[in-house]
Amino acid sequence: MDKGLYVAMSGAKEMMLAQAVHSQNLANSKTVGFSAALEQSRAMPVFGDGFPTRVYSMTESPGTDFRAGALLVTDNPLDVALPGDGFLSVLDGQGKEAYTRVGDLHIDELGRLKNAVNQIVVGQGGPIAVPPAQSVTIEPDGTISFVPLGASEPVSQILDRLKLVKPNFNNFVKGEDALFRTRTGAPLEPDASIGVIPGALNASNVDAIGEMVSIISAARQFEMNVKLMNTMQEDDAQASTIMQMNG
Amino acid sequence: MHPALWISKTGLEAQQLDVSTISNNLANVSTIGFKKDRAVFEDLLYQNFKQAGAQTSQNTELPSGLMLGTGVAVVSTVKDHIQGNLSNTDNPLDWAVNGEGFFQVLQTDGSIAYTRNGQFQLSSTGEIVTSSGQLLQPQITVPTNTESISISQDGIITAMLSGNTTSTQLGQIQLATFVNNAGLQPLGANLYKETTASGTPTINNPQQNQTGAVLQNTLETSNVNVVEELVKLIETQRAYEMNAKAIETVDGMLQFINQVL
């Protein structure tokens, strides 16, 4: 039996995984702050004795598309968009610092500044808590100011500044909770060159047409692999009939 | 069967819910005091299929792994409490708040609800009530011999009584503000209820502490922007179609393998 069957099988199986990566991107084509996952196939040669034909394929996600998504203007004073390479610092489930572009912020019942998926936003002085305020504004450089409740004159006070970072994308990966971290997990330093656009959000950066094309391409590639498996099945069937005695 | 089928299914569900939100906004495009909703999406947990950095042989490691997401979910819908447009009416009991404050109304169960809908009326006993008959708080009773009623921007209600040359002060209305407006729970009928997320209300006279001025002969229209909603509707429909297409494609792959092999 020709072991090429397994090579074709690995091709088909890995194409199914590629399909899942693209489906995930499409499913999140409207998720605010979402960064698309990239997908590629890699040759995994397994050469032994004889003719070197055994090259299996492997689907992998070599990284994330870090481009900022289109701007979505909301006019909500607590919404921030991160243009360019900027990321916002938040606390993850373990209370460690992680990075995201989900910038629809709100103040919870304890006064903590959180984003829409309820991650606590980190400022340059640690997690941000807003005292009872008449109004809270975020400046384009990330400075958060507020007018305290009960103040006779609307004089705003500076509370903190959002910790905006500019990661080195070669060393920046998405975790299982959809937050980004450096490869070592070490926190990043704030970068003064990064600003925010108040009153706007980052739309998902998924290229929907590109993903559709990738899905179609993966489907056809899958079919070709299955076709090869079919051909090998026929070859084997033929081979076993050659030696049959005509009774 | 195949992860992509389920991932795309979550996409379809999320878009469907978004269409409901958009439809609700469009249905309330002329509801006085209505605040639009926005669905918040979140990408679900990722599954680590191949860990980046895993050893591929004694001396080599995988430079990049494969993490498959599990789709998308709608975490919440958020009310956008930005100010609606102000439109003029001829009714002296039509009031609008130009600021952050909410009118307080007494519900039948004795609790206070909050509203931006300033279409008030008089009850048979002369109290100022909402269009469904709930009392405005603090309670104000208008005498039967009132010729005209007026409210100042800071909330003082005065009436000109027949036979009098000077107006009589009837009371002072107060407005409630919240730390987190988005945390208010919509009850329907333009009413909101405080929750732990909204925080407790701060009661102030109008024009104090961000409550804003009360404007007579004015109503605050719905803050739904029709053009924006229609664009969102188009976007949602196309996203729905693309997710459906992804399911169809995967279905085609599975069908093909069943036929060919």
The region that residue A194 occupies, defined by phi over 0 for left and psi between -120 and 50 for alpha, beta otherwise, is beta
Tell me the C-alpha distance between B247 and B222, whole Å. Answer: 38
How far apart are the CA of A244 and the nearest CA of chain B, in angstroms?
24
Q: Of A157, A179, A156, A155, which Cα lies nearest the Cα of A167?
A: A179
pLDDT band at A247 (very low <50, low <70, confident <90, very high): low
Task: Report the pLDDT averaged over residues A92-104.
Answer: 92
Give yes or no for a contact between A228 and A8, defined as CB atoms under 8 angstroms apart: yes
Q: In this structure, how many other beta carbons lie within 10 angstroms of the beta carbon of residue B142?
A: 19
Which among B62, B65, B197 has the least Cβ separation from residue A108? B197
Q: What is the DSSP letter of B181?
A: G
Answer yes or no: are the C-beta atoms of B223 and B80 closer than 8 Å: yes
* CB neighbourhood size of B235 (10 A): 17
Nearest CA among B238, B70, B242 for reference residue A24: B70
Length of chain B: 261
Our CA angle for A224, A229, A233, nearest 5°, is 145
B187 touches chain A (CB under 8 A): no
CA distance A245 to chain B (A): 27
Is residue A218 classed as helix, strand or coil in its secondary structure? helix
pLDDT single digits (tens) B52-99: 777 777 777 777 778 888 889 888 888 888 899 999 999 999 999 998
Q: Does A135 touch chain B (CB under 8 A)?
A: yes
Give the three-state DSSP class for B109: coil
ipTM: 0.74
Contact (CB<8Å) B41/A32: yes
Band of pLDDT at residue B237, cut at 50, 70 and 90: very high
Say yes or no for a CB contact (<8 Å) between A16 and B253. Answer: yes
Q: What is the reported pLDDT for A1?
A: 62
Stretch A215-238: mean pLDDT, rounded?
A: 91
Least-confidence region, from A29-38, A210-219, B6-15, B38-47: B38-47
Asked if A196 and A142 touch (Cβ cutoff 8 Å), the reply is yes
- Contact present, B222 and B34 (Cβ < 8 Å): yes
Q: What is the pLDDT of residue B78?
A: 86
